[in-house]
Amino acid sequence: MKTIQSILSFLLSTSLSFFSQANEQPRDVESLEALRAFIEVYEHIKGEYVEEIDDQTLLNHAISGMLTKLDPHSDYLRPRDVSSLRDSTTGSFGGIGIEMDVVDGLIRVITPIDDSPASRAGILAKDIITHVNNEIVRDVDVKTAIEILRGPIGSEVELNILRKVNGKAEELTISLERAVIRVTSVKQEILPHGIGYLRISQFQNRTGSDLVKAISKLQSQEQLKSLILDLRNNPGGVLSAAIEVVDAFISRGLIVTIKGRDEFLESKYEATDASVLSQEPIVILINGGSASASEIVAGALQDHERAVLIGTPSFGKGSVQTILALENDYALKLTTALYYTPSGRSIQAKGIQPTIQVSGGEAHVESDTQVRETDLPKHLENLGDSGITGDRIVSRLNQDNQLLHAYNLLRGSQLLTRSDGPRSLISP
């Protein structure tokens, strides 16, 4: 305690000596008074707070408080926070391999990841993890749950699981070994009539290249006539990945501008001619969970009239955070700039407005009373369709109102093109 206090006192006395030799300005005096107040508060907490607090903890709190008062995204990162951030950008980490959520403070499995320790051990969707290494799991948040389950590759972990079987709860104990878990940020699916569906869950280092591979897979399955790009609930991620995604759909023009406090910090990112889909109609799905890099993609393709946006207004995170390494594996995440779309729009606190606003939730499809071939007695069955079953896609569209609108828009565009020649999705 005395060491820290002496250091703070030295800093204060040095500052006083410096400013006494110069012409003191009002702002300088205010800064000195604030520093003096900080030292006084620090000494009171150390000497009089009901519980003893070590210097490191108190100083960490002070730094964190200083940053969190700036904006919601600036932060003081502990070593484990830095590690977690690195994992999220690379999409690779040591763990058991589950998608999960937290319900009433309990860890619930959404689904095990394919070919992961969890899937091989027989962990199932809706399993509740009650204990990890004999430690009870209760009243946790998502961040804490991740920290509990992740660990060094090759380390052993024992899970106690509560599973409902035939209406009865069963307790299981499963031991497994953590392994490298690679999360693919891009998933693809081909819908009827040559409409491709791409879902980007987060922008990672490999997202741009994964997107190109996903489009290639769609093209190999069927002639790709149009595309739905789903960015709903995508929190963002790596800036370069967002730029690569936009670049895949346009062959020229500005993608995004980043402006800092000083003019020399302004950066502009332009498209190259390496687009993989330059003509096919695109619909992008966004909602209030689409943030940061998602908004860069949506805003750029909207400004270039390359895509129609369907859904609800995006989150509105238009700020840039820079990670600055500090001593002892700590880091400073500091907001340093703002994003601007090609037309000069600031995303910050405004978000991206969809071209067509459609609420989420279940779609309400009117019943069709017309008699069709399938209603006739002894009709011939369709035996030639080896793609997605009609029942599955109809069920999915009926459950997702925004996806249904995107599908209908692209399907309608195909019909118009076939009858009247090429026609844009966007009215002039």
pLDDT tens digits for range 100-114: 888 888 999 877 877
Who wins on pLDDT, 76 or 18? 76
Given 75, 230, 303, 400, the catalytic residue? 303
Judge residue 164's burial from the number of C-beta atoms within 10 Å of its C-beta, 0-12 exposed, 13-18 middle, 19 or more buried.
exposed
Given 317, 319, 333, 413, the catalytic residue? 317
Strand partners, 181: 93
Distance CA 180, CA 182 (A): 6
Q: What is the pLDDT of residues 31-56, one digit of tens each?
A: 888 888 988 999 999 999 999 999 98
- Identical topology for domains 92-182 and 186-357: no
pLDDT(168) > 70: yes
Q: Give catalytic status of residue 303 as yes or no.
A: yes
Name the CATH superfamily, with its identifier, for domain 92-182: PDZ domain (2.30.42.10)
pLDDT at residue number 192 = 92
Cα-Cα-Cα-Cα dihedral sign, residues 83, 84, 90, 94: positive
Domain boundaries, the chain: 2-12+26-77, 92-182, 186-357
pLDDT at residue number 127 = 93
pLDDT at residue number 16 = 54
Q: Give catalytic status of residue 292 as yes or no.
A: yes
Contact 134, 156 (CB under 8 A): no
Q: Give catalytic status of residue 317 as yes or no.
A: yes
Pairing of strands 356-357, 308-311: parallel
Band (344; pLDDT cuts 50, 70, 90): very high
Given 88, 292, 319, 413, the catalytic residue? 292
Distance CA 355, CA 363 (A): 19
Strand (E) or helix (H) holding 281: none
| Three-state SS at 22 | coil
Contact 229, 284 (CB under 8 A): yes
The whole-chain average pLDDT of the chain stands at: 84
- CATH class given for the domain over 186-357: alpha beta
Band (362; pLDDT cuts 50, 70, 90): low
Band (66; pLDDT cuts 50, 70, 90): very high
pLDDT at residue number 12 = 58
Average pLDDT over residues 132-156: 89
Q: What is the pLDDT of residues 281-310, one digit of tens each?
A: 999 999 998 999 999 999 999 999 999 999
